[in-house]
Structure 1
Amino acid sequence: MKKLIAHVKLMRPANVITAIADIMAGFAASGLAIQWIDNGDHSESLMWLALATIGLYAGGVVFNDVFDAELDRIERPERPIPSGDASLVSASLLGAILLILGVLSAWMISLLSLLIAFLVAACALLYDAWGKHQNIWGPINMGMCRGGNLLLGVSVVPAVIGEVWYISLIPVIYIAAITMISRGEVHGGNRQAIRGAAFMYGFIFICILLLAFLFNQVYWQVIPFLALLSYFIFPPLFKALRNPEPRLVGLAVKAGVLSLIILDAALATAFTGWFYGLVVLLLFPISRLVGKAFAVT
């Protein structure tokens, strides 16, 4: 049982739920979310895409710990691999199975979904092995994983991707901001990086408001979601800015990661209105609850 729990920890269950929210936001941008709410149409497609993102995200974060095993023996010996609760072989096998599951599940939708899933898996492995150590490319690389995940949700209607591809830049910027902050989790944060992340968050808010204005006649419905997002991400961020010690930086990172669901809910609202946004938002308390039992960072 101990080994089983250790391998579940490697998958970061709370974070995986945030990836499902990406799919649901992309599903909203595809135009099918309203039909799904009205009569359950396309539920099977949404289910396959959710399974795909579970495999891709969980597999990516498992390999993150595989590639970090030696460093974690020094900096985070309590993690599953350095503690001996999971082996490098078993973790690598788990990660490979999950990534393959993610790609094959996407194939059930379309060849385009398969291609996007393959690229997301490749980006995740590139980040785990190399990107995370690059000051500029690293945050962009990580953001590309989430941007691709959002497009995976849109790919349920392949023709729409050409029309709304640019929305994938929103999670790219958001995750790049979180990644910049996260580099201070072990040794303390960089105030300049934290300030930069705050400005990037603000830019994202403006982008979502513009999308709501363009795609939703009652664009004001997105404002409560953005207010909720502000409530969760800015207080811990400003605390870390005042005192960039590892613990406060970690809390700012955790808030940013879990609040991805609120970001996705706001993005979904921009395309479909408040009701579907609330459906996406229901994942947030679930993720927070799971986040109390399993590490997020």
Structure 2
Amino acid sequence: MKLYYYLTLMRPANIMTALSDILGGVAISGFLIATDWDTTSWSSVGWLLLATIGLYAGGIVFNDVFDLKEDRVNRPERILPSGKVSVTEASVLGIVLFVMGIVSAFMVSKISGILALIIMVLALTYDKIGKHHSFLGPLNMGLCRGGNLLLGMSIIPENIFRDGYMVIIPVLFIAAITLTGQKEVSGNNKTSILLAMLLDAIVVILFIGISQYGNLNLKIAAPFLVLWYGVNFLAKYKAYKNNQPDWIKKAVKTGVLSLILLNACYIAGFANWNYALPVLILLPLSVLLARKFAVT
């Protein structure tokens, strides 16, 4: 039973989206179409996937640790305020996960390891400070996801400088999700949702621009992009129209899970659709896990 509580703290459904970040970054780097897929190639991808599991889960665990006082009032049913796991146990779990993430990243390259350290610092900054600021919070969380995409790109370190600008997309979209989630408990956040919808539209415009001046094939990425934008527009529109906590929570949940679709856009556009389709398997898996474990 304790294992179930630990898994709940780690948000397994969200981890699926973090794995897709890595695969998206790997595709952007050109690795998928340039490699001969030997044992070294597979191990590099594997280490990066393990790294993001540790980093993401560690950040999520510490988020609940820092939120304990607030959750005792607003969400007493959660794992920590309900006493199912102690703060000490959760903190140890978070530290172990961070160490696993950083060590795994260094197994790929020095740059990967440094990026992992930066992601850890960004995650802890958001957990402790960033989420309490209306502007810095969304930006901080966006940088965490952007760093995760860069971590995937670091599989070919020199290409980070060529394609690193792509982090602007997850930064904007995660900022949109974070804005949508503001006042999730109380509702009444229509202005934030409208701004989030604007950021989603800007992401689509950026994809079009990158296809014109970069290596992204928009024709192949378009079906994935339309699907991603459609599900988010619909979820945010419903949250705007019915501006209550339940609808806001659904919009945030949709946004988080749709990160898999967004990463499929990168993979299709920078590699090919046949690489993107297998990644979509993570989506139903994430949805199934979301029914069993919390997402927000």
**TM range, smaller chain:** over 0.9
Further displaced range: 78-87 or 183-192: 183-192
1:85-115 deviation line (CA, Å, top 9, x unaligned) = 0100000000010011000000001110000
CA pair 249-217 structure 1, distance change in 2 beyond 3 A: closer
Letter in 1 for 2:233: F
Pairing of 1:206-285 with structure 2 (within 5 A): 206-215=205-214, 218-285=217-284
Per the alignment, residue 26 of structure 1 pairs with 25
Superposition deviation, residue 231 in structure 1: 3.0
Work out whether residues 53 and 102 of structure 1, in 8 Å CA contact, stay in contact via their aligned partners in 2: yes
The amino acid across from 1:185 in the alignment is E
4+ long deviations beyond 3 Å: 35-41, 212-218
Amino acid at match of 2:161: G
Cα offset for 1:37?
8.4
Q: What is the distance in 1 between the residues matched to 2:32 and 2:211?
A: 16
Counterpart of 2:177 in structure 1 is 178
- Measure the CA separation in 2 of the matches of 1:155 and 1:180: 29
Is 1:116–1:152's contact at 8 Å kept on the other side of the alignment? yes
Question: Which amino acid in structure 1 is aligned with residue 85 of structure 2?
Answer: A
Q: Distance in 2 between matches of 1:185 and 1:39?
A: 46
Cα gap change, 1:163 to 1:216, in 2 (>3 Å): closer
Instruction: Look up the equivalent residue of 1:106 and give its one-letter code.
Output: A
Q: Which runs of 5+ in 1 are unaligned?
A: none
Question: Taking every aligned residue pair, what percent have the same amino acid on both sides?
Answer: 46
Match of 2:81, SS? Answer: helix
Q: Which amino acid aligns with 1:148?
A: G
Query: Over the residues paired in the alignment, what is the CA RMSD in angstroms?
Result: 1.5
SS at match of 2:187: coil
- TM-score (ref. length: structure 2): 0.96
Moved more, 245-254 or 205-214: 205-214
Task: Tell me: CA distance 1:218–1:98, structure 2 relative to 1, closer, same or farther (3 Å).
Answer: closer
Q: Distance in 2 between matches of 1:116 and 1:217?
A: 24
Confirm or deny: 8 A CA contact 1:233 1:252 kept in the other structure: yes
Deviation at 1:228, TM superposition (A): 1.2
Structure 2: distance between partners of 1:217 and 1:15: 26
Counterpart AA for 1:95: G
State TM-score, norm by structure 1: 0.96
Show CA shifts across 1:165-199 (max 9, x none).
11011111100110011112101041111000001
Across the two proteins, how many residue pairs are aligned to each other?
296
